[in-house]
A and B are shown apart, each in its own frame.
Chain A
Amino acid sequence: MVAEGHSDAFVAFERVQKSYDGETLVVKDLNLQIGKGEFLTMLGPSGSGKTTCLMMLAGFETATFGDILLGGKPINHIPPHKRGIGMVFQNYALFPHMTVGENLSFPLEVRSMGKSEREDKIRRALDMVQMGDFAGRRPAQLSGGQMQRIALARALVFEPELVLMDEPLGALDKNLRERMQFEIKHIHENLGVTVVYVTHDQTEALTMSDRIAVFDDGRIQQLATPDDLYERPENAFVAAFIGENNTLKGKVEKIEGDTCHVALDDGSRVKALRVFVEGEGARTTLSLRPERVRVDVKEGAADTVLEGTVKERIYLGDHIRVRMDVAGNDEFVVKVPNTSGERHFKLGEKVAVGWAKEDCRALDPS
């Protein structure tokens, strides 16, 4: 599914730049290949340029520089209505003066499709989103989740090969959002359509995507599968943005192969995996997932063992979340599984914490 290289990329951004005011770049040198049938998510904080990229792909914004290719052909100068790209908007954009059926019929009518064929496709699309009985309703008579389904059906009814979704679940409540995530994923799997999805919700991105492009500051910070992104963040921004993350700052003393020996700011010595450090003597940020930290580790039983002081303890049922002060960072969080041998943490208690070298990633200093 994952495209390798230009040749079989279905959608390609090649050195795309975008500026609105001629002074600052909103998108800086974007290169991205999306394979046919892939579910790719553009994830990032607001203002990171992800929506601008989507709008350029849809044709509502023009790239200031660079090419966007669809099926190998540049589409920079093709107007949106000739691109044949389905799109689901954040506010659904269902036409309020038309019924659900008329909304779905619209893309087929502008393609001069015959009546019986239209009705056939509309029925299939509505059945796909389990809204078969709603063809006669007006959008104002639907709930948020129902509007979402209709918007999805409308974007798919004319059978586009590429569908863009701009934070489509943003307006729904949590339970409905989770259900819709699975539904969208299943529809994607069944139809084999290529989806480019924009969101700022990392859980949503991790749940649905084949690959995720993490955007920040107009650039793709990392493009990877969900598990790679979580397990192997390549820089400090990605590590902090995806999932929960402990950071320790220090200076690289020595590099042996892929192992960095890092002196933390309080003087502790730590071994870390070399990911993104300039060299010996450079400052670095160490990234460590809370669930990879073990407690009550004996000296020598782990690559790194440090002492922490318990600051706060939160009982969360399946695990206990302990906030500690470790090596001068009092936001250091450890998730302790709630197993039968219940462990009590008292405030102020000293606890030995340890972790494997591979779980502690030495990243850029930012």
Chain B
Amino acid sequence: MIALGPGPDNRAAPTGNTGNANMAQAEGVQGEVTAEKLVTADGIPLKRSMQRAERRRKLMAFLLVAPLLAFLFVSFIFPIAQMMWRSVENPEVVNALPRTLEALEGWDGEDLPDEEVYAALYQDMVADQELPRQEQRTGPLAVRLNYELSAARSAIARTAFRLDRLEPPYKEAFLDAHRLWGNPELWRIIQREGDPFTASYYIAALDMTYSDEGEVVMRDEDRRLYVPLFGRTFMLSAVILGLTFILGFPISYFMSILPMRKANLLMIFVLLPFWTSLLVRTTAWIVLLQEQGVINSSLVGLGLLDAENRLQMIYNMTGTIVAMTHILLPFMVLPLYSVMRTIPPSYMRAAKSLGAKPWTAFRRVYFPQTLPGIGAGGVLVFIISIGYYITPALVGGQDGRMISNEIARHMQQSLNWGLAAALGTMLLVSVLILYWAYNKLVGADNLKLG
């Protein structure tokens, strides 16, 4: 690796001086000036010899990191970039209807387009049918337009099926084939989406829509879906964060003052959810919380509850909160514990000897020193719960769903990947904003993860 330099015997002297040069640089401008003048015993400028000596170390460091870097690029950065790309890319209309789009230029967007446009549409569809089946673009077009207007798919399919029977004038023929071709909204959509990039996925993800005048407006209150879901996701995450903190802080403190052996035993209990299979854990929660479950039956058995008024504790928000708090508790406890363990008991003693009541000593001396742990635990729990999927899906029911469940639905059932990508990107951006805000408020250097 250092074959670039002179012989090995030349190198002994420069390496010996490396430390001095480092120090001179650290001291600032004055040091640098002297460093430039300095030469090693064999006359090579000190800086160059130093760089040569450092080169091997840098290469070594890079080689150590390289496999992980490559893995991260392939499995993390590249997919994320692709997801963000997919949330704006919009090739379907452009590819399938180039002539139609050209003819649509200059259309006023009010009345139906002229015959010329319908003729262009006919040519586009005929051209597409002549392509091999794998390359036909009408299918994707139908799906794409259906996202915007729900009958569009059947209009295109039926028209394509009867294409060889269509005869001029095409306007009447198309209107005859499907009534949707007489709807100006369909044409407005074709015109609007006739661009290789679109914001319409984001507009849909923000519960907005285009008005008849082509302006972006909020959907009607009762048709909004994603914004309330984002709100609920953040609300649930905040509640789970609060619960893990309230439950985790005392146990972390207790473990931090116990002798190591007992603390480790307690730690096993805290870590238990980590080591149990997700399905076993979820099943346990179902057994406990369901309407005929252990808790409800016990309450009824004790006469605290009427048999008709059994509590609904699972397949709703309560289920999501209970199960996720349990699962995420270790993420709060571990950083808290590791920070608390390093706070010597003499601080509290010193505060008391200086006259502080136990509560004051805790509030002003102990608690501020746990902030790095609280910050780390809080960021972990909040960010993990914002994107949590499996537990809400299993025990969340309808009102315990979170945004990731909706993303999964669009990925797997509605197959609207563009919308899923837009929702995913918004989730990613909101996490980044949160992290940025945390960094501004507390400083990421204060994050202590272990």
Contacts and interface: CB of A to CB of B under 8 A. Distances in A.
A193 to B, nearest CB: 15
B356 A60 contact: no
B360 interface: yes
B350 A87 contact: yes
Given A110-B357, A111-B355, A158-B355, A96 B369 contact: yes
A45 interface: no
B347 A93 contact: yes
Contacts of A164: 353
Contact of A95 (B355, B357, B365): B365
Contact of B355 (A60, A89, A107): A107
Nearest to B350: A93
Interface stretch (A21-29, A78-86, A117-125): A78-86
Contact of B353 (A80, A91, A96): A80
Contacts of A83: 353
Interface in B303-360: 344, 346-347, 349-358, 360
A79 B349 contact: no
Q: What's the dominant secondary structure at chain B's contact region?
A: helix
B353 A58 contact: yes
B347 to A, nearest CB: 5
B6 interface: no
Given A97-B369, A110-B360, A87 B355 contact: no
Contacts of B352: 59-60, 79-81
B444 to A, nearest CB: 17
A155 B352 CA distance: 12
A134 interface: no
Nearest to B357: A81
A158 B350 contact: no
Contacts of A97: 368-369
Contacts of A85: 353
A106 interface: yes
A154 interface: yes
A89 B346 contact: yes
Contacts of A90: 346
Nearest to B361: A81
Interface in A42-95: 58-60, 79-87, 89-91, 93-95
Given A93-B344, A95-B365, A97-B368, A60 B349 contact: yes
Contacts of A110: 354-357, 360
B364 interface: yes
Contacts of B356: 81, 106-107, 110
B357 A93 contact: no
Nearest to A94: B350
A52 to B, nearest CB: 14
A91 B369 contact: no
A76 B29 CA distance: 62
Interface string B350-388: 111111111011001100110000000000000000000
B365 A80 contact: no
A200 to B, nearest CB: 18
Contacts of B358: 79, 81
A89 B369 contact: no
B364 A81 contact: no
A81 B364 CA distance: 14
A89 B357 contact: no
Contacts of A91: 344, 346
B369 A106 contact: no
Contacts of B368: 97
B432 to A, nearest CB: 28
A93 B346 contact: yes
Contacts of A60: 349, 352
A107 B369 CA distance: 18
B349 A81 contact: no
Interface of A: 58-60, 79-87, 89-91, 93-97, 106-107, 110-111, 154-155, 158, 164
18 contacts: A58-B349, A58-B353, A59-B353, A81-B355, A86-B354, A87-B349, A87-B350, A89-B350, A93-B347, A106-B356, A107-B354, A110-B355, A110-B360, A111-B355, A154-B354, A155-B354, A158-B354, A164-B353
Q: Which 3 A-B pairs have the closest CB atoms?
A: A107-B354, A93-B350, A87-B353
Given A81-B352, A110-B357, A111-B355, 6 more contacts: A59-B352, A59-B353, A80-B352, A81-B353, A95-B347, A110-B355
